[in-house]
Amino acid sequence: MSSTDETIANLLREERRFAPPEDLAANANLSADAYEHAAKDREAFWAEQAERLSWDTKWDQVLDWSNPPFAKWYVGGKLNAAYNCVDRHVEAGKGDKVAIHWVGEPVDDTRDITYAELKDEVSKAANALTDLGVAAGDRVAIYMPMIPEAVVAMLACARIGAPHTVVFGGFSADALASRLDDCQAKVVVTADGGYRRGAASALKPAVDEALTKTDVVEKVLVVRRTGQDVAWNDDVDVWWHDVVDGASAEHTPEAFDSEHPLYVMYTSGTTGKPKGILHTTGGYLTGSAYTHHAVFDLKPDTDVYWCTADIGWVTGHSYIVYGPLANGVTQVLYEGTPDSPERGRWWKIVQDYKVTIFYTAPTAIRSFMKQGSEVPDRFDMSSLRILGSVGEPINPEAYVWYRHVVGGDRTPVVDTWWQTETGSILISPLPGVTHGKPGSAMTPIPGITADVVDDEGRSVPNGSGGYLVVTSPWPSMLRTIWGDDQRYVDTYWSRFKAQGYYFAGDGAKKDEDGDIWVLGRVDDVMNVSGHRLSTTEIESALVSHPKVAESAVVGATDPDTGQAVVAYVILREEAGDGGPEIVKELSDHVRTQIGPIAKPRQIMIVPELPKTRSGKIMRRLLRDVAEKREVGDTTTLADSTIMDLISAGQATST
Ligand code: WTA
């Protein structure tokens, strides 16, 4: 058996089942008949969901799929995303309701922001951006810590129709520069720094450095968060408190076309260059609002919601900013790391704010599991009623621990499968309906049709594995890759062109009941702590080092991070053995090229790489070595002795 088959077999031996709590089921937002209702007339169902939003002009047509795979949803409709997330709640008399309980990392550094205050802040920032020369259609990059101004900046962009591109604060200056360049960002919003692990961590220097590598940016708007020293260029840099605080809080939101670009989010693909995933307004907002309502059984008047993602990832976009705020809930926004100043920080926040819905990633759950239940047991978390998981397959043990220790055995766990590209959750249990199976994302939610298919695109029978596909368009789907329609078509729609299916890039299995178990990527994309990294992107970073001739990167199974980056490197002849510091040198190089998240767990200097006769690197074999397994079939190698050399090197490397 291959290791994947073994994993599947182990997973399917999982027989624990968790029924929804009775009171939750009785009062659930969605009941079992929602599936049938949605399936009967999908477009009518999605029209109903779009009614959650306030439209300035109603659409004439729900879906235009006349030019696949280029979709248009709610054709002819006009709306403003920021109005939907903020103003309308104030107009409905909820201005005094807390929108954001912000918790800074330093203890007692907190701020509560009501919807009325948020409306003023967003309006001021919209006026300030307009004064800086930003017009509808211009791109604005956001490179910020988890502070309220990050949310304000996103909504201000949406309000004036300027698509934002949020770049995760952990990305390096180089990674930031390439994104600024790709989407031609006119303005960058950043901060002097943010608090991470008990210390002020600088952000602005990376922006300064990025600006030496690209000349597209005209202005940098800087929030003072930590008060640390910053370099200042009067021609470019502007303090947020100088231009936003004094701006008018009056701003009339303009209604934009339903298909007006809302944001671009860069994500790793199978080639070196990150893809700018484009989301537009009406369909995206419908998808994020509906799924947030349905999957988390959201009761906006009583729930306190907390999603621990960073706004630099899609989860932060859909499930911190757009979905929750469109639904008018009260939520927690936390700046820092889970263990600062002590290991119970997250649980203390749950206790203090009486969080009812909590959404996090398996990698975090695994790290808490490792610490044991003693820390969470010190806190009163009885307010929790629903737990969510996203980013990678959740191991059954982690699921059960999460439910038991964090959720006190009361709370359903919703294992939500989706992607940057899908914009919102597509496959997930419904907390009031589904009998959850630990490790399974279960079924497509009402309104979504997905399947597991074989190489020819045929639906596989229950009990078999294959590729995960989405079989009909959905409102929050990506519209294209920024500036590269052809890559959009090739990446997602060419694999199952005949069937017209969206190819997600994930492998999956249907169990005997037809429920879906997502197994992970089938392409050269790794998932490290829930973050998507491309093998090619890291290989390119390594090869850009002057001592490196060639490299191959694989994602090896890792108990903490899901997968970990393992790199094999051939040095250039003139570099000799690279010197005693070579591994550290290369590791630091990847860090500056991409960011700390891409740092390899292990770098091995090797004399050769295993290649087929046509020159393709056989990563499968390298994965065997990295995972310390017996090396698989080497008969297609051009030189079959190579694996012996590499394995011998592995045995002696530290
Ligand atoms: C993986 C994050 C299994 C998957 C929202 C997908 C998951 C990639 C799950 C998208 C899940 C996400 N179970 N795998 N519940 N959720 N994935 O774009 O491989 O950062 O293709 O979006 O994460 O990652 P992305």
How many Å apart are CA 651 and CA 630, to the nearest integer?
Answer: 12
Phi and psi at residue 508, to the nearest 5°? -155, 165
User: Ligand 1 mean position to 505 CA, how many Å?
Assistant: 10
Q: What is the best residue among 394, 419, 561 to mutate for testing ligand 1's pocket, by most ligand atoms within 8 Å of CB?
A: 419
pLDDT-derived band at 643 (thresholds 50, 70, 90) equals confident
Question: Number of H helices and number of E strands within the chain?
Answer: 23, 30
From the CB of 502, is ligand 1 less than 6 Å away? no
How many Å apart are CA 277 and CA 286, to the nearest integer?
Answer: 18
The DSSP H or E segment spanning 129 is: helix 115-131
How many Å apart are CA 333 and CA 307, to the nearest integer?
Answer: 8
How many Å apart are CA 597 and CA 608, to the nearest integer?
Answer: 27
Q: Are residues 282 and 347 in the same domain?
A: yes
Tokens of 452: 């597991």
Instruction: Check residue 522 and give its pLDDT.
Output: 87
Structural domain for 161, as ranges: 22-506
In a domain, 517, yes or no: no
Q: Are residues 486 and 592 in the same domain?
A: no
Whether the predicted pLDDT of 654 surpasses 60 = no
| pLDDT, tens only, 492-505 | 999 999 999 999 99
Beta-carbon contacts of residue 83 (< 8 Å; ≥ 6 apart): 54, 159, 253
How many Å apart are CA 299 and CA 218, to the nearest integer?
Answer: 43
Of the candidates 453, 472, 506, which is a domain's last residue? Answer: 506
pLDDT-derived band at 316 (thresholds 50, 70, 90) equals very high
Structure-derived torsion over alpha carbons of residues 398, 402, 405, 407, reported in degrees to the nearest 10 = -160
What three-state secondary structure class fits 7? helix
From the CB of 411, is ligand 1 less than 6 Å away? no
| CATH number for the domain that contains residue 382 | 3.40.50.12780
| CATH number for the domain that contains residue 542 | 3.30.300.30
Among candidate residues 164, 191, 384, the one with its CA nearest the CA of residue 296:
384
Phi and psi at residue 457, to the nearest 5°? 85, 15
- Mean pLDDT for 275-301 is 98
Q: Are residues 301 and 189 in the same domain?
A: yes
- β-bridge pairing 219-223 and 237-239: parallel
Find the length of the chain.
Answer: 654
User: Ligand 1 mean position to 49 CA, how many Å?
Assistant: 24
Q: What is the best residue among 279, 366, 392, 561 to mutate for testing ligand 1's pocket, by most ligand atoms within 8 Å of CB?
A: 392
Instruction: Check residue 653 and give its pLDDT.
Output: 47
Q: Are residues 437 and 540 in the same domain?
A: no
CA-nearest residue for atom 24, ligand 1, is 419
Position in ligand 1 atom list of the atom nearest CA 421: 18
Residue type for position 102: W
From the CB of 518, is ligand 1 less than 6 Å away? yes
Tokens of 644: 């012996």
Whether cis (ω within 30° of 0) applies to the bond prior to 69 is yes
CA-nearest residue for atom 23, ligand 1, is 391
Domain count of the chain?
2
DSSP codes of every residue in 281-323: SHHHHHHHHHHHHHHTT--TTT-EEEE---TTSHHHIIIIIIH
Q: Based on the number of CB atoms within 10 Å of its own CB, is 46 exposed (0-12), middle (13-18) or buried (19 or more)?
A: buried
In a domain, 522, yes or no: no
From the CB of 319, is ligand 1 less than 6 Å away? no
From the CB of 87, is ligand 1 less than 6 Å away? no
Q: Are residues 473 and 574 in the same domain?
A: no
CA-nearest residue for atom 12, ligand 1, is 391
Instruction: Check residue 3 and give its pLDDT.
Output: 54
Whether the predicted pLDDT of 269 surpasses 80 = no
Instruction: Check residue 8 and give its pLDDT.
Output: 66
From the CB of 515, is ligand 1 less than 6 Å away? no
Structure-derived torsion over alpha carbons of residues 608, 612, 617, 618, reported in degrees to the nearest 10 = -100
Tokens of 329: 């809930």
How many Å apart are CA 440 and CA 438, to the nearest integer?
Answer: 6
Instruction: Check residue 6 and give its pLDDT.
Output: 64
Q: Are residues 493 and 405 in the same domain?
A: yes
Q: Are residues 338 and 392 in the same domain?
A: yes
pLDDT-derived band at 530 (thresholds 50, 70, 90) equals confident
Q: Are residues 584 and 621 in the same domain?
A: yes
Position in ligand 1 atom list of the atom nearest CA 518: 3
Position in ligand 1 atom list of the atom nearest CA 417: 15
| pLDDT, tens only, 388-422 | 999 998 989 899 999 999 999 999 999 999 999 99
Q: Are residues 555 and 406 in the same domain?
A: no
Least confident of 191-195, 243-247, 368-372: 368-372
Q: Are residues 320 and 365 in the same domain?
A: yes
Has 650 been labeled as part of a binding site? no
- Mean pLDDT for 302-328 is 97
| pLDDT, tens only, 14-47 | 788 999 999 999 999 999 999 999 999 999 999 9
In a domain, 198, yes or no: yes
At residue 50's C-alpha, the angle toward residues 48 and 51, to 5°, is 65
| pLDDT, tens only, 567-610 | 999 999 899 999 889 999 999 999 999 999 999 999 999 998 88
From the CB of 428, is ligand 1 less than 6 Å away? no
Whether the predicted pLDDT of 12 surpasses 90 = no
Angstrom CA distances, 444 to 39, 162, 418, 421, stand at 11, 32, 10, 16
Q: Are residues 62 and 118 in the same domain?
A: yes
Q: Are residues 255 and 171 in the same domain?
A: yes
Whether the predicted pLDDT of 338 surpasses 80 = yes
From the CB of 291, is ligand 1 less than 6 Å away? no
Higher pLDDT, 635 or 1: 635
Instruction: Check residue 52 and give its pLDDT.
Output: 98
In a domain, 524, yes or no: no
Mean pLDDT (the chain, rounded): 94
Three-state DSSP string of 524-550: CEEEECCEEEEHHHHHHHHHCCCCEEE
In a domain, 347, yes or no: yes
pLDDT-derived band at 619 (thresholds 50, 70, 90) equals confident
CA-nearest residue for atom 14, ligand 1, is 392
Of the candidates 457, 475, 506, which is a domain's last residue? Answer: 506
- Mean pLDDT for 628-637 is 82
Whether the predicted pLDDT of 2 surpasses 60 = no
Contact between 42 and 475 under an 8 Å Cβ cutoff? The reply is no
Among candidate residues 600, 599, 553, 550, the one with its CA nearest the CA of residue 575:
550
Whether the predicted pLDDT of 564 surpasses 70 = yes
How many Å apart are CA 377 and CA 370, to the nearest integer?
Answer: 14
Write the ipTM: 0.99
In a domain, 206, yes or no: yes
From the CB of 390, is ligand 1 less than 6 Å away? yes
The DSSP H or E segment spanning 196 is: strand 193-196
In a domain, 106, yes or no: yes
Burial 253-280 (b: 16+ CB within 10 A, else e): bebbbbbbbbbbbbbbbeebbbbbbbbb
In a domain, 284, yes or no: yes
Among candidate residues 543, 587, 594, 596, the one with its CA nearest the CA of residue 566:
587
The DSSP H or E segment spanning 81 is: helix 81-82
Q: What is the DSSP letter of 427?
A: B
Has 156 been labeled as part of a binding site? no
| pLDDT, tens only, 166-215 | 999 999 999 999 999 999 999 999 999 999 999 999 999 999 999 999 99
